[in-house]
Structure 1
Amino acid sequence: MGELRLRVLETTALTAQVRTLELAAENGGTLPGFTAGAHIRVTLPDGTDRHYSLVNTLPDTAATAQPATYRLGIRLEEDGKGGSRHMHGLAAGDVIDASLPRNDFALADTDAPVLLIAGGIGVTPLISMASELKAKGRPFAFHYAGRSRVLLAFVDELAAIDEGALTIHCDDEPETCIDLKALIGRAPAEGHIYVCGPRGMIEAVREIAHARGIAKDHVHFELFDAPKAETGDQPFEVEISSTGQVFTVPPGKSIIEVLEAEGVDLIYDCQRGDCGICQTAVIEGIPDHRDVILTDDERAANDVMQICVSRAKSSRLVLDL
C-alpha cells in the first residue's frame, strides 16, 4: 500500500490518447505539498508502480503547499505494460494508492533565464514549472513539440499561463518543426534548459548543449520510459570487484535486477537511466550505454555506466561495487 490513498474526483479526455485525473485525499482534507516538476508513484493492481507528474497549474504558487487536489496527465500507451490502460480505465469514486510527491526534476534556485522543451506527453512535468516561473516573474520560453497539433494536450492551459512564452512545433507542419540546434544556439549561455520527452530528443538536447559549451549541470531532463530489450541482446557476466562474485545478466534483465535478486545491496532510483544515482565505475570491460545521462565523450571513455539500463558489449564487466 502506498503512503497516500487518493480518490478519483473526475477524469477528462483532452485528446484521443491523453486523459487527466483529478485526485483528492480519500478521507478529505489537504494533500502534501509539492514543488514544480514533482511526481507521485501510483501503485498498480499487480503491485508494480508508475510515476506520473503533477500537472497542477494554479497560478498562486502558495496553493502547492497545501493542495486540495492533485492532477495527473496520462497518455494511453497501446504497446505498454498496462499501467496507462489501468489509469485510463479509472472512474470517479475509484481509489488508488500512491506515494508522497517526490521531485527529481526541480527548478534550479536561480534567476537565470529558463528554456523549457517538451516532446509529446513529456509536457507534463513542465506545466507546473511554467506556472511557477510565471508567478515568480522569471523569464522563460516554452517549446512544445509533437507529431500533430490534434495530439498535443494542455495547449490551452499553457497559453493561459503565458501565451507569449509558448511556441508549438508540429511534425506535420513543416514551417513549425522544431530545430533544436537553432533553439539551443539562441539560448542564453548562463540559462538553464529543462527537457522532457522521447529519448532521442533528450539525447539531442544534451549533445547540442554540450557542443555549445553550456554547463552540464544547466541541462536538466526527465525520461518517462526505460529502454526496451533490443534484438540481439546477449547474456554477459558482471564481476563485483570487492568480493569477486560473478553473476550472469540475461537478455531482458538489468544488472540491478540480477544483483539485487542475489542479495547485493545497491543504491538506485529511476531505473530509466536519467537520474544518475546508480552510476558505477567500470574497472574492466566495455559497457553498452543506454542512458541519457552521459555525453558522447563520457560514453566513449567507458569508465562509468548506469547499471539500471546499460548492458555490456564485452563478455564480462568488472564493476567497482
Structure 2
Amino acid sequence: MTVTQTVVREIETELVVRSAEQEADGVVALTLSRPDAGDLPDWTPGAHIDLVLDDGLVRQYSLCGRSGDAASWRIAVLRAPESRGGSLRVHELKAGSVVCVRGPRNHFPVAASRRYLFIAGGIGITPLLAMINAVDAAGAEWELHYGGRQRKSMAFTAELARFGDRVRIVPEDERGLLDLDALLGRPRADTLVYACGPEGLLSAVEERCASWPPGSLHVERFAARPAESVGAESSFEVVLQHSGTTVEVPPGRSVFDAVREAGVSVLGSCLEGICGTCETEVVDGEVDHRDSVLSDAERDANDVMMICVSRCKGPRLTLAL
C-alpha cells in the first residue's frame, strides 16, 4: 500500500501550549497551536520539531499526533533528570505557556510497503505512533512490538489498545525483553522494519537485520550512535560555492563552526549529528560521514552531509553554501 508523503514547509514561530497532560510516569504530552488558532504546516509521519527553550537551549521532539491535523501539533517528552536539562524545562511548561518552535523536519519518513514491523523502546514510541496511524489508514499490514521498563511508564498504551493484537506491549518487569531473535531472525523481503528507542535496542536490531535485504531497516536515534575509531584527523578545505569563500577546517574543529566563523549563516541545533538541522548539499568531494541520521544508501550517494560532525576524506570539499 502507498503511504502519502507531503512536502514539508518549515516555520519558526511561537506556539501556545494548549494542554500539558501526564501521559505515563515521567512522560508529559504537550499539544501546541498558533496563538491565533490558524493552521500549522503539513507534516509527515516521522517528522520532528525543535523547541527553542530558555538560554537558547534547543531540543528535538517527534510529532506524535495525527498528520492531517492542521490545528495542533502533539509531542511527548520523557523527563530525564540525568540529561542536560531540556526535558526538565519542557516538563515545567503548562497550558498557556508560549514556546518558540522550528520545523517540522523529517529524516525518518515512511516508505511505501505492503507490510511493516515496528519496534519501539520506551519513548521511542513517539515517531512510530504517527506512522502506525498512517499505514493503518492506508490499508497496509503491520505489527508493533513495544518494550518498556514498566507498563505504567509506557506512553500511549491506551491509545494503541484500539488496534487489538496488532500491538504487543512488553513491559520488562512483567515479560522480560523484546524477543528480537524471534522477530528478526528470519529475513522477510516484503517487510520494512522501523525502530526507535535506546541505543542498546537499536544496536541489537541492526545486528539482527544485517542479513535482511538492503533498505529493510529504518531507525531513528535520540542520541548519537557510539563513535567508531577513525584515527587521527586531518585538516581540509571547504569551498563555499555560493559565497565564493574557502575556509580551512583544522583537526578538532567542525565544518559547522568553521563556516560560521567565516561569516556564513548556517542553521544548527543538536550539533551531535542526530537532528538533521544542519544538512547541507555536497557539490564535490568525498564525505567522511559521522552522523546518526543518514542511511547507508544516503551516505553512499554523497549528496548531503551533516556539517556539525561529518568531515572530508580528502583535501577539499565543496558545499552549496
Shorter-chain TM-score above 0.5: yes
Instruction: Give the alignment of 1:45-124 within 5 angstroms.
Output: 45-57=54-66, 64-108=67-111, 110-124=112-126
State the alpha-carbon separation in 2 of the partners of residues 308 and 5 from structure 1: 26
State the alpha-carbon separation in 2 of the partners of residues 225 and 176 from structure 1: 24
Q: Secondary structure at the match of 1:50?
A: strand
Matched to 1:53, the amino acid is S
Instruction: Please tell me whether residue 9 in structure 1 is matched to residue 18 in structure 2.
Output: yes
| Structure 2 alignment gaps of length 5 or more | 1-10, 240-244
Match of residue 7 from structure 2 = none
Instruction: Please tell me whether residue 31 in structure 1 is matched to residue 40 in structure 2.
Output: yes
Q: Secondary structure at the match of 1:80?
A: coil
Matched to 1:16, the amino acid is D
CA 71–241 in structure 1, closer or farther in 2 if over 3 Å, else same: closer
State the alpha-carbon separation in 2 of the partners of residues 270 and 89 from structure 1: 21
TM-score (norm 2): 0.75
Match of residue 164 from structure 1 = 165
Match of residue 211 from structure 2 = 212
State the alpha-carbon separation in 2 of the partners of residues 273 and 185 from structure 1: 30
CA 176–137 in structure 1, closer or farther in 2 if over 3 Å, else same: farther
Q: CA deviation at 1:279?
A: 9.9
Q: Secondary structure at the match of 1:101?
A: strand
Q: CA deviation at 1:38?
A: 1.7
1:225 to 211, 223, 226: 223
CA 136–150 in structure 1, closer or farther in 2 if over 3 Å, else same: same
The two structures, once aligned, show a CA RMSD in angstroms of 3.9
For residues 120-173 of structure 1, the C-alpha deviation after alignment (integer angstroms, 9 at most, x for no partner) is 11110100111112222211111112222222111111222x121111223334
Match of residue 235 from structure 2 = 238
Q: Secondary structure at the match of 1:220?
A: strand
CA 294–101 in structure 1, closer or farther in 2 if over 3 Å, else same: closer
Asked whether the 8 Å contact 1:226–1:271 carries over to 2, the reply is: no
1:132 to 92, 110, 134: 134
Asked whether the 8 Å contact 2:27–2:79 carries over to 1, the reply is: yes
Q: Secondary structure at the match of 2:173?
A: coil
Asked whether the 8 Å contact 1:237–1:246 carries over to 2, the reply is: no
Match of residue 8 from structure 2 = none
Q: CA deviation at 1:5?
A: 2.5
Matched to 2:235, the amino acid is V
CA 85–192 in structure 1, closer or farther in 2 if over 3 Å, else same: same
Asked whether the 8 Å contact 2:224–2:272 carries over to 1, the reply is: yes
Q: Secondary structure at the match of 1:212?
A: coil
Matched to 1:214, the amino acid is P
How many residue pairs get matched?
Answer: 295
State the alpha-carbon separation in 2 of the partners of residues 290 and 320 from structure 1: 17
Match of residue 5 from structure 2 = none
Matched to 1:25, the amino acid is R
Asked whether the 8 Å contact 1:39–1:102 carries over to 2, the reply is: yes
